[in-house]
Amino acid sequence: MTFSTKIAFLGIGLMGDPMVRCLLRAGYSVTIWNRTHSKAEVLRAAGAQPAISVAEAVYGADVVISMLEAGPIVAQVLQEALPALRAGALWIDMSSTKQSEAQQFHATLQAAGHAFIDAPVSGGVGGAQAGSLAIMAGADTSDYARIETILSAMGRPTLVGPPSSGQVAKLCNQLIVGATLTIVAEALLLAQAAGADPAAVRTAIRGGFAESKILEAHGLRMLERNFVAGGQVKSQIKDMHNILAAAETARVTLPVTQLVTQRYETIAKTYPTADHAAALLALEALNPGQRLGTGPDKLS
């Protein structure tokens, strides 16, 4: 699709705001909507057109992009938008939802004569700001070809299978993220408790087989006790529950994922909006008297 393509973007949160800015920088015309209108209004200066209602936002749009908190909210917004969608509109849901929810969105839109792509992302707020998100798209090949350029304005898209496959890929991603965050916290806390310098241990093992973006970025966050949100604990828990639901449907048992989910659930009420690096806080609560570093916790 060309820059003349009209895009409606629904959901201007931590991720939606920088994603819209990427689309605007790429030259696209973007109408935006958010439940809290003030968050959409902020983007007017960047060239976006804020709309008061979902129907107003999607009216005349060739492509609708949703970036919302969870599947039930996507379903609600989709129902609000349906009567106003132009014929043959293509809806890209970049939220993280259950695979079964993505299948239902596809069925609903297909029955109304529209196309659907699920394209959840990984890379956090930093990736959204840099336009370097990993974008996992579940789509028919012809539909994907129509919007690959649009997705490329926000990151690195990959077609991973038919509709709803994007959510499967995202769940696999979040399974690895959640488990790795938890194990990096364990490694750093063990290093300190056993008498080594945890920062030096992190430096020593980087570049070896243990290297990862989690060790690089979130290992540093843990050492600095910086839990200001990028990806939030509540979002990680939602993803873990969705992973377990998908595993049950696929009839596979994921014992490590079950344990990681339980660890995050211990801080669900205490630190719901902290960064998911707060896996360290869950671990420290399990080990009274053990604390990584000496600095204060940064939570906001």
- Contacts of residue 188, defined as CB under 8 A and 6 or more positions apart, other chains included, come to 198, 201, 202, 219, 222, 223, 280, 292
Q: Is 36 helix (H, G, I), strand (E, B) or coil?
A: coil
Percent of the chain whose predicted confidence (pLDDT) is above 90: 86
Residue 49's φ and ψ, nearest 5 degrees, are -110, 100
Q: How many helices (H) and strands (E) does the chain have?
A: 14, 9
Which pLDDT belongs to residue 300? 81
Alpha helices in the chain (DSSP H): 16-25, 37-41, 54-58, 71-81, 99-111, 124-130, 141-152, 165-193, 198-205, 213, 219-224, 233-250, 255-265, 279-286
Which pLDDT belongs to residue 109? 97
Of 146, 186, 30, the closest CA to residue 157 belongs to 146
Which pLDDT belongs to residue 231? 83
Q: Which member of 170, 213, 234, 298 is catalytic?
A: 170
Which pLDDT belongs to residue 2? 53
58-62 mean pLDDT: 95
216-229: pLDDT as tens digits: 999 999 999 999 98
Look up 234 and say whether it is catalytic: no
Which pLDDT belongs to residue 163? 95
Confidence of residue 1 (pLDDT cuts 50, 70, 90): low
246-256 mean pLDDT: 94
| Cα–Cα distance measured from residue 126 to residue 106, given in angstroms and rounded to the nearest whole number | 30
Residue 190's φ and ψ, nearest 5 degrees, are -65, -45
Whether pLDDT at 125 is above 90: no
Residue 209 DSSP code = T
Of 234, 220, 238, the closest CA to residue 274 belongs to 234
68-118: pLDDT as tens digits: 988 999 999 999 999 999 999 999 999 988 899 999 999 999 999 999 999
Instruction: State the chain's mean pLDDT as an integer.
Output: 94
* Residue 297, number of CB atoms within 10 A of its CB: 16
| Cα–Cα distance measured from residue 85 to residue 43, given in angstroms and rounded to the nearest whole number | 23
Which pLDDT belongs to residue 230? 79
Confidence of residue 296 (pLDDT cuts 50, 70, 90): very high
Whether pLDDT at 3 is above 60: no
Confidence of residue 5 (pLDDT cuts 50, 70, 90): confident
| Cα–Cα distance measured from residue 176 to residue 300, given in angstroms and rounded to the nearest whole number | 26
33-55: pLDDT as tens digits: 999 998 999 999 999 999 999 99
Which pLDDT belongs to residue 94? 97
39 alpha-carbon distance from chain centroid = 18
135-147: pLDDT as tens digits: 999 999 999 999 9
pTM of the model: 0.82
